Amino acid sequence: MSEEVDLQHLAKMIDAALSSDNPSTRKALRNFLLVASITEAESDSYIKGPFTSLFDTLESLEKQMASLRQEVEMTRGTPDWYGSSRAYGQEKTDILELYRSLHTNKDGTGSI
């Protein structure tokens, strides 16, 4: 839990530094990024840090959300004229029933 709090605090500090108009803050951030890039260049192997894990998790969640949205849209059906949702093919049946009711005589015989 402590690492999560530290990571949140670091993220807030970096966010504040990125949005700062203070020249000394921007210079300190540039220096920090320079040190980080030198450290990364000297390393022979890539070490997956907490931000990389966080972004991987975020990407995975976004893919899951897109998949769920697509699944909901596919199972929801298509909306009718009144905005309610119906199963696929239900509109054709309703239109046919409407057509029949308009072309049916009072005695129950139709012209179809």
d(CA 2, CA 8): 10
Q: What is the pTM of this model?
A: 0.47
Listed by start position, the domains of the chain span: 1-45, 48-76, 79-112
SS3 22: coil
Place of tokens 């894990």: 53
Q: What pLDDT tens digit does each residue of the chain (112 aa) get?
A: 566 668 889 889 989 999 999 999 999 999 998 988 887 777 777 777 888 888 899 999 999 999 888 888 877 765 545 555 555 555 556 666 766 777 666 666 655 5
